[in-house]
Amino acid sequence: MYKILIVDDSKLARMSIAKVLSTLQPEWSRIEASNADEALALFTREQPDIALLDFNMPGRDGLALAAELCALDPRMPLALISANTQDEIVARTHEIGAAFLAKPVTKRALADFLSGAQLRLAAET
């Protein structure tokens, strides 16, 4: 059982990710934030295990947030979720050590990321 942080400025997008997630891992708990500041506050308070971040958000974008989360907890599996699949963004995501998932996110893509994330988390304990 893991706790997963979903960050997206769009409620529809959070609903969409939550729906896919609930079919894959119905037992996991979810926490949601709509921007980078909220996400950092939630991170400190709730200590999630995995984070899924939107790229294009008002204020700091998902890549900036990913870098900050990574500095706070280098071992937390992170994925950037965006319809903006330009090479530069995918490359920068991988440089940070995060996964890139195309939006709208599919069950298959999220399942693959979560399997990898679970392996990494299990290896640490």
Residue 116 main-chain phi, psi, to 5 deg: -60, -45
Per DSSP (E only), the strands in the chain are: 3-7, 29-33, 50-54, 78-82, 99-102
| Binds another protein by CB under 8 A, chosen from 74, 87, 122, 125 | 87
Q: With contacts defined by CB under 8 A, name the span among 52-60, 63-71, 106-114, 115-123 that binds another protein.
A: 52-60
Residue 39 as a binder of another protein (CB under 8 A): the answer is: no
Residue 37 in tokens: 């500041």
Kindly state the smallest distance separating residue 83's Cβ from another protein, in Å. Answer: 4
Kindly state the smallest distance separating residue 54's Cβ from another protein, in Å. Answer: 9
Q: With contacts defined by CB under 8 A, name the span among 14-22, 64-72, 93-101, 111-119 that binds another protein.
A: 14-22
Provide the 8-state DSSP code for 75.
T
Nearest by Cα to 51 from 19, 84, 14: 14
| Binds another protein by CB under 8 A, chosen from 2, 18, 118, 121 | 18
Q: Residue 83 or 119: which CB sits closer to another protein?
A: 83
- The residues near 31 (Cβ < 8 Å, ≥ 6 apart) are 3, 4, 5, 6, 42, 46, 48
Nearest by Cα to 80 from 95, 93, 67: 93
| Binds another protein by CB under 8 A, chosen from 36, 51, 57, 63 | 57
Interaction site with another protein (CB under 8 A) = 9-13, 15-16, 18-19, 22, 29-32, 56-58, 82-89, 103-104
